[in-house]
Amino acid sequence: MIRSNGFKKINIAIFISGNGSNLKSLIKFSLKKNSRFIINLVISDNLKAKGLIYAKKYKIKKRIINYKNIKIAENKILFYLKKNNIQLICLAGFMKILTKNFIKKFGGKILNIHPSLLPKYKGLNTHQRVIQNKDKFSGCTVHYVNSKLDSGKIILQKKIKIFKHDNSVKLSKRILKQEHILYPKALRKVLINL
Ligand code: GRF
């Protein structure tokens, strides 16, 4: 699609596995005046991902990928990405790890959001680990995806304070709210430099 001022919008695919609250916030952002991107495709490895309702609501094409065989799954995804001219991928709670081969073959940029202040707490159960360790701060990070888990170059981070009576549920809710602000901001930063 061409914007009224002549700029071409970037085509984006969002990958999800679950609730899709980040997908929702990115869709809302994409619909704003002057947004530099369109979400053309939602990929999910999980047929029951709640977030798929947002694809339906906003009439975005969705594809459910069976991950029993990762090679077949990734080839299918690459096919859909090409078919829809996708230039950039945003992982938003996608629970599968993309292979080196996939990252190389896609060739475009891939972003991820992680609920910790990377490089601290890569992987799962970040909030529990942060609470157990009695950290004073936590937060979220948007970063580029490379072949090592949660290790690509950091684009933006938001730091938040941990309160005395916090637990992992309270903390995850507070951080998730910040994620919804941080991801569109990071995307804007990336797109300005494209
Ligand atoms: C978020 O906390 C994100 O940082 C992590 O998975 C969660 C996804 O939440 N990677 P949602 O599906 O976007 O609500």
What are the tens digits of pLDDT across the range 78-106? 999 999 999 999 999 999 999 999 999 99
pTM above 0.85, yes or no: yes
Evaluate whether 18 touches 176 at the Cβ level (below 8 Å).
no
Active site residues: 114
* DSSP reduced 3-state for 109: strand
pLDDT at 108: 85
Say how many Å lie between the CA of residue 193 and the centre of ligand 1. Answer: 25
**Phi and psi, residue 122, nearest 5°:** -70, 160
- Quick one: which of 188, 191, 187, 189 has its CA closest to 91? 187
Say how many Å lie between the CA of residue 5 and the centre of ligand 1. Answer: 34
Atom index in ligand 1 nearest the CA of residue 94 equals 10
pLDDT at 194: 79
Q: Which residues touch 101 (CB under 8 Å, ≥6 apart)?
A: 74
Task: Supply 89's token pair.
Answer: 């991928």
Nearest CA to ligand 1 atom 7: 93
* DSSP reduced 3-state for 95: coil
Which residues in the chain show pLDDT less than 50? 2-4
pLDDT at 4: 47
Whether 168 lines ligand 1, by a CB cut-off of 6 Å, is no
Evaluate whether 173 touches 115 at the Cβ level (below 8 Å).
no
Whether 21 lines ligand 1, by a CB cut-off of 6 Å, is yes
